[in-house]
Amino acid sequence: MNTSTITLSSDPEWYRKAVFYEVMVRSFLDTNGDGYGDFRGMIDKLDYLQWLGIDAIWLPPFFQSPLRDGGYDVADYREVLPTYGSTADFDEFLQGAHDRGMRVVIDFVINHTSDQHVWFQEALKAGRGSKERARFHFYDANSDGTPPNNWISLFGGPSWTQVDDGQFYLHLFDSSQPDLNWDNPDVAEDFEKTLRFWLDLGADGFRIDVAHGLVKEDVLKDHPDPQGLSDALRLDMPMDPERRYALLPTVPYFDRQGVHEIYRKWRTIFDSYGSREVMAVAEAWVHPPVNATRYVRADELHQVFNFDLLDAAFEAEQLYGLMSAAIDLMKSVGALPTWALSNHDSPRVASRIGDLQSRALALFVLALPGSCYVFAGQELGLPDGVIPDEARQDPIYFRTKGVQKGRDGARVPLPWKGETAPFGFTSGKPWLPLQEGWKDLTVEKQESDPRSTLNLYRNALNLRAEHLVNNGEVEWIESPVHGGKSASLLAFKRGNVSVYMNLSDLPIEIEVNGKLLVVSSGIVDGRDGKVTIPPVSTIWLHH
């Protein structure tokens, strides 16, 4: 029995309001000088995470892997990658997190394995028609020698690769990531064992990678517009929204009804851990947005990511539209939304919209109902790293022949201390280069500066726990500006806290009484029932 869980709050719906901290082990802290972060480093910094005030940690895959896609290519689902440490190290980390009241959610990458996984190696050897090949999508070439269909990989290039005997296998991502055949009972059975394996070790839940994938339909049919499909799926690709909305529901490999049966089965496994309060969050990019609610039906998963803010402009009307829609959508099924400004797949928010803007937006979002996902480094206001092409690792860069630079910029390790790169991350050569210019962004510098981004996050997380998590629903404030409306101000009230974000470059004066809890940047001027919000800044007021 796992005794450490007794220090965790026993709230069965803890995840609904939790702040999750997403941290890639390899970018956090390296303790043995090999340039890769490791579980010893994670253990060393548990006090830092507790000090910061997060509720839970989400670990992207840390399993045995050739790291062709940063670990999203798993070779053994029940082994820790030795570069990161041992299962005993993971266990020590987990206990340490629990002892500090933090939960740990791990990544579950089940749309595909690595080509180094024993199943795929067996499939290669066993040959066509074998039960080993039936665990993946192996098919013969068309009579003209072309692949079984015209689908394009999400990482660029064809989604089929040919093996020695002439058959092709399907891979929606890199060729080193063969897609599993979820119609094969071996697959479902083995992953149920893996779920139990980590739950028995004490994990608190799972982030389900490509949760809308898994089930494929019409694998032997061409899609009428494969390039359109592939462009529509890339949110960074400009496309007429009408066209995008028309194409997305036609994807034959995403958001098929069959996935929900899989999650219903898993839910019975999660629930069998009873008092442990296990949760699972779906990475499901689906259209129309209402489809996301299916993943959080009472007998399926607990949460679904909302990616809307990852590419939203810093613009009041758009933000209001996205936020209110997300809240209403989840409310329609009794769930709460999730919020993320950055993650390991997208440009960092500070680079995308600017430093002050990202502080203002973060403070605003942290006051909304639901749970927040903070990507490690976001609390430092880290921008994207500038990566020389020869240091790039992301398969997207290679598969698109450099046309897309990929996601490495967001994945650069954290700067901890000192005046020169790699800022205490490693005593060796970091797996991606830290930037010399980050000397004022280190944890050490920011800890001692009350106005730093780090202290803003810490204050906000404390105040959120004290004033907001059990506070009411959002009431949007329509015309908060004294003497008229402003397109530059977004505001809402939750119970006895009101939140105002000034998106403009000028101070805005509002008529309101209340005690200032926190401001994202600048000095707030308040007297005689009037408060002046600094430019590009958010405030929380207590009434």
- Cα 470 from Cα 44, distance rounded (Å): 32
Cβ 432 vs Cβ 415: under 8 Å:
no
Q: How far is CA 155 from CA 252, 322, 346, in A?
A: 17, 27, 14
Per CB under 6 A, which of residues 337..356 are in contact with ligand GLC? 344-345
Q: Which option in ligand GLC, Ca ion, none does residue 38 bind, with CB closer than 5 to 8 A by kind?
A: Ca ion
Q: How many residues bind ligand GLC (CB under 6 A)?
A: 9
Q: Which option in Ca ion, ligand GLC, none does residue 32 bind, with CB closer than 5 to 8 A by kind?
A: Ca ion
Query: Residue 120, SS3?
Result: helix
Q: Which of 56, 97, 109, 380 is the binder for ligand GLC (CB under 6 A)?
A: 109
Residue from 193, 353, 167, 358 nearest 266 by CA? 193
* Number of neighbours of residue 195 by Cβ within 10 angstroms: 21
**Parallel, antiparallel, or unpaired for β 537-542 and 497-502?**
antiparallel
Q: Which of 8, 15, 21, 38 is the binder for Ca ion (CB under 5 A)?
A: 38
**32: contact with Ca ion by CB under 5 A:** yes
Per CB under 6 A, which of residues 160..189 are in contact with ligand GLC? 173
**408: contact with ligand GLC by CB under 6 A:** no
Q: How far is CA 444 from CA 183, 361, 452, in A?
A: 51, 24, 11
What DSSP string describes 357-408?
HHHHHHHHHTTSSSEEEEETTGGGT-------GGG---HHHHHTTTSS--SG
- Cα 139 from Cα 434, distance rounded (Å): 44
- Cα 13 from Cα 15, distance rounded (Å): 5
Residue from 329, 348, 196, 377 nearest 272 by CA? 196
**69: contact with Ca ion by CB under 5 A:** no
CB of 345 to ligand GLC, least distance (A): 5
Q: Which of 104, 110, 210, 349 is the binder for ligand GLC (CB under 6 A)?
A: 210
Ranked by CB distance to ligand GLC, the top (closest) residue is 72
**63: contact with ligand GLC by CB under 6 A:** no
CB of 173 to ligand GLC, least distance (A): 5
Q: Based on CB atoms, which residue is closest to ligand GLC, 109 or 374? A: 109
Q: Based on CB atoms, which residue is closest to Ca ion, 60 or 337? A: 60
**539: contact with ligand GLC by CB under 6 A:** no
**30: contact with ligand GLC by CB under 6 A:** no
Q: Which of 36, 58, 266, 339 is the binder for Ca ion (CB under 5 A)?
A: 36
Binding residues (CB under 6 A) for ligand GLC: these are 69, 72, 109, 173, 209-210, 283, 344-345
Binding residues (CB under 5 A) for Ca ion: these are 30, 32, 34, 36, 38
